[in-house]
Amino acid sequence: MNEKIQKSIEKAKEVVEGMKLEEPYKSLTYSKLLEKFLMEEDTLIKHPNVSQAGQISFVQLVNKIKPKNNHEKVISIGYHLIKNEGRNFSYEDIDKFYMKVAWKRHVNPSELIRQLKQKGFVEESENKETGKKEFRILEDSINLVEERLE
């Protein structure tokens, strides 16, 4: 393991242990401190699905993959956000990106997400900072988009 990364891990552990916190605050504090220390050491480990180079805009992405239905549109939003921003997506993101490319707004985004979860394309999670519901695309979704990008 990289020496700078190991140093950041040890530093974060040391600080958190001195704070006498209980879970879940201990884990959250450790995560935030580790991220801060890694950034200070310029060794921040990006989300494993984040593209390191060759990022394209959302408009370019949809022009290349040409989503055929609302399911594919939502998958393209999730793919764009995980690859370019390293984060999951929310109902607000669906509305924002639909407007960005002038797609007709889906009447019931929650039903759309329910169907995608049922098909195994997304899973639900919770944003630890805001407590809001968010969604993460799964491997089948990533494969669907990347096959069209080839």
**Looking at residue 136, which CATH number applies to its domain?**
1.10.10.10
Q: Which residue has the higher pLDDT, 45 or 86?
A: 86
Q: What is the mean pLDDT of the chain?
A: 82
**What is 11-28 written as a DSSP string?**
HHHHHHHTTT--TTHHHH
Is residue 81 domain-resident? Answer: yes
Both 65 and 18 in one domain: the answer is no
The model's confidence at residue 19, banded by pLDDT at 50, 70 and 90, is confident
pTM of the model: 0.64
**What pLDDT does 31 receive?**
75
Both 82 and 144 in one domain: the answer is yes
Q: Is 100 helix (H, G, I), strand (E, B) or coil?
A: helix
